Structure 1
Amino acid sequence: MTRRRIGLAVVATAATLLALAGCSGDSSNSGDSSLLPGTASAGATPGAAAAPDTSCNPRASVKPLAALPPPGHMPAGSYMAKIQANGRLVLGTSQDTLLFSSRNPFTGKIEGFDVDMARQIAQAIFGNPDKLQIKVIPYDKRVKSAMDGSVDIVADTMTANCARWKDVDFSSIYYEAGQRVLVSSDSAAKTIDDLGGKKVCAASGSTSYDNIGKVKTKPLPVAKATFGDCLVAFQQNEVDAVSTDDTILAGMAAQDPYAKVVGPKFTQEPYGMAMSKIHPEFTAFVNAVLAKNRANGTWTATYKKWLGAFGAPPAPPAAEYK
């Protein structure tokens, strides 16, 4: 059965949900992607990607609080006390990254792995995870929104990197993403290296697109305006595969019964929650919540809830601190 036989409604839904989905590998604002040794080699690239900023350890966040204050009793003068006084934690995220932060068409609520990460912070502040106000922000406004205080925290498949650390603080890493490949369910390809000479789609201007051109077997990079357009091209057999962050590919595979995600990650995209540098005590608080939830199984339960269909949960990302 070919992908062309998938109903137009699936294609339309995919395009709508993914049209604005923000892969962390946006070459216009990151240097996020780091090719893993032994998986790809620099060759003729379709576009010159900026060299990544390696001036820091982007995984190392501030040390967590030694002990979390009881919910509803945030320390006076802290940013957590301000959030408590405001009556809600304001989360900046997207509404179109399926499984991480997308609008449920039946309830109208934005939900997913990233949203639940923020709900856990609200639980720690208020004792109520529903004390969360979601503000949908454009992909290219994530850093600015954390900097200017228009949101309290950003959780939006956002790679922590040195360039962004100069403007915002990141939590410890809560999800390890990386670039993989989506192919048809009957494809024999097992890794990106098996697609030499095949058309592989990624969003124009993304480091995902740049990275395809660095694979030693020379897949043929195809640029589309968005990853939603890539999925439509894939379903119409115009391209053989789509390659970007595994988080976005998981959402594509969930919508297309004739697709599968294959291969190991060949870039590193460590996701962190972004906050203003003005309030380091809030970053320390968030890191304490994350540390607690790694230890008590909450992180694993959240993974199973949203991503369990794609296999057994890995160990939570190990925290690193400055």
Structure 2
Amino acid sequence: MLKSWWKKQTVISLVSLSMLLLTTATAYGETVIEKIARTGKITAGTSKDAIPFAYRNEQGELIGYSIDILELITQQLETDLKQDLELELVPLQPKQRIPKLRDGSVDIVCDASSFTWQRDRLIDFSLSYSSTGTRLLAKSDSNYRYDTSFAGKRIGALAKTTNEKAIRLAQPSAEIVIFKDRAAAYQALDQGKIDAFADDGILLESWLQNISNPQDFQIFGEYSREGIACMVAENNSQLLNAVNYTLAKYMQGYLADQPEYVEIFERWFGAQGVLPLTDDLRLIMIDNMQLLLDFTQRVPNNNP
């Protein structure tokens, strides 16, 4: 009976070991693009409250400029892999983005992520397809616009964002209050629980244009300038190449007035878009696109 028990345990152990080795081989021997080809699905991390880049609409759907970029990337991968792909969107908090990429929970992140050297040590960034910077939002009846020091003041920020880092460096004497999402920070500001909220300027502008009392708030200061880009796990050059090719093709098409690409940009930043840009901001975005493309090989018009 003991011999039979040992035999049974040995079989169970060998089966368990085989499954472990198979799982390990799959996890460590497969690139992200191989995983996408095998599963027929690209799992993309994004935001749920970064208007107009990635956010939930009234129907609960994730939409935005970066979601449209993800759709273009999916189309390019379908062409490259010669198969249909499903795009699965996964809403993430900013602090979740890099961990989820590194553990393979998501294949790519496109929201309003900005480049930093510290992040670049952990993941790889795509070409930049937009630009922003850290600014402050406060009540209109405050005099903070003219203050150089916020010593003792409570400034809200989202955890693990460039905004948190920028405001900590610029205002070391301020009390930084961390929020889990933008809705909680906006509510705290409205209720007077914080004095200001640090976020991407373009996101603050979008929020103001979508509330009923924009006159009650003001945006001021400039504490950083950053390019917005997608992120992928390190050592996945084939996927990164496809992402960069897609972004270069999109920006090149927009600057050449190709309708399908102009429509995407105008949907979010045009005069009738979610966040109408001022002429100055539009020129800055266009100049940034052109500058980036000046250092990138042109995508042939007849290439898929």
In which range does the TM-score fall when normalised by the shorter chain? 0.5 to 0.7
User: Are 2:100 and 1:145 aligned?
Assistant: yes
User: Are 2:244 and 1:287 aligned?
Assistant: yes
Q: Distance in 2 between matches of 1:155 and 1:137?
A: 10
In the alignment, is the contact (CA less than 8 A) between 1:83 and 1:89 conserved in 2? yes
**Aligned match of 1:119 in 48, 68, 71?**
71
In the alignment, is the contact (CA less than 8 A) between 2:189 and 2:195 conserved in 1? yes
Give the TM-score taking structure 1 as reference length. 0.61
Alpha-carbon distance change, 213 to 148 in structure 1, aligned in 2, over 3 angstroms: closer
In the alignment, is the contact (CA less than 8 A) between 2:204 and 2:219 conserved in 1? no
In the alignment, is the contact (CA less than 8 A) between 1:209 and 1:223 conserved in 2? no
Moved more, 169-178 or 95-104: 95-104
User: Partner residue of 1:105?
Assistant: 58
User: Are 2:125 and 1:170 aligned?
Assistant: yes
User: Are 2:87 and 1:132 aligned?
Assistant: yes
Q: Distance in 2 between matches of 1:246 and 1:126?
A: 35
* Residues 175-254 of structure 1 aligned to structure 2 (within 5 Å): 175-184=130-139, 192-193=145-146, 201-203=155-157, 208=163, 211-212=166-167, 223=177, 225-226=179-180, 227-237=182-192, 241-254=196-209
In the alignment, is the contact (CA less than 8 A) between 1:179 and 1:244 conserved in 2? yes
Q: Distance in 1 between matches of 2:136 and 2:233?
A: 34
CA shift, 1:292, in A, is: 0.7
Alpha-carbon distance change, 302 to 262 in structure 1, aligned in 2, over 3 angstroms: farther
CA shift, 1:291, in A, is: 0.6
In the alignment, is the contact (CA less than 8 A) between 2:110 and 2:230 conserved in 1? yes
Q: What letter matches 2:76 in structure 1?
A: A
User: Which secondary structure state, in structure 2, belongs to the residue aligned with residue 273 of structure 1?
Assistant: strand
RMSD of the TM alignment (CA)? Answer: 3.7
Give the number of the structure whose alpha-carbon radius of gyration is greater: 2
Q: What letter matches 1:287 in structure 2?
A: N
Paired residues in the alignment total 241
Q: What letter matches 2:233 in structure 1?
A: S
**Aligned match of 1:306 in 268, 279, 301?**
268
* CA deviation vs aligned residue, 1:287-315 (integer Å, no higher than 9, x gap): 11111100111665434322443414331
User: Are 2:44 and 1:91 aligned?
Assistant: yes
* CA deviation vs aligned residue, 1:172-199 (integer Å, no higher than 9, x gap): 112212112324567787xx54576695
* CA deviation vs aligned residue, 1:75-131 (integer Å, no higher than 9, x gap): xx986565345323221123233322222232x321112211111101212269983
In the alignment, is the contact (CA less than 8 A) between 2:65 and 2:265 conserved in 1? yes
Alpha-carbon distance change, 133 to 210 in structure 1, aligned in 2, over 3 angstroms: closer
In the alignment, is the contact (CA less than 8 A) between 1:146 and 1:153 conserved in 2? yes
Q: Distance in 1 between matches of 2:65 and 2:33?
A: 22
- Gaps of at least 5 residues in structure 1 are 1-76
CA shift, 1:229, in A, is: 3.4
Alpha-carbon distance change, 170 to 129 in structure 1, aligned in 2, over 3 angstroms: farther
In the alignment, is the contact (CA less than 8 A) between 1:184 and 1:258 conserved in 2? no
In the alignment, is the contact (CA less than 8 A) between 2:78 and 2:85 conserved in 1? no
In the alignment, is the contact (CA less than 8 A) between 1:95 and 1:101 conserved in 2? yes
Q: What letter matches 1:123 in structure 2?
A: Q
CA shift, 1:159, in A, is: 2.0
User: Partner residue of 2:23?
Assistant: none
Q: Distance in 2 between matches of 1:210 and 1:79?
A: 30
Q: What letter matches 1:112 in structure 2?
A: G
- Gaps of at least 5 residues in structure 2 are 1-29, 255-259, 297-304
Which structure has greater helix proportion?
2
User: Which secondary structure state, in structure 2, belongs to the residue aligned with residue 292 of structure 1?
Assistant: helix
User: Which secondary structure state, in structure 2, belongs to the residue aligned with residue 158 of structure 1?
Assistant: coil
User: Partner residue of 2:116?
Assistant: 161
Give the TM-score taking structure 2 as reference length. 0.64
CA shift, 1:139, in A, is: 2.7
User: Partner residue of 2:24?
Assistant: none
Q: What letter matches 2:43 in structure 1?
A: V
User: Which secondary structure state, in structure 1, belongs to the residue aligned with residue 111 of structure 2?
Assistant: coil
Q: Distance in 2 between matches of 1:194 and 1:310?
A: 29
Larger relative contact order, structure 1 or 2 (CA cutoff 8 Å, min sep 6): 1
Q: Distance in 1 between matches of 2:150 and 2:31?
A: 56
What percent of counterpart residues are identical? Answer: 23
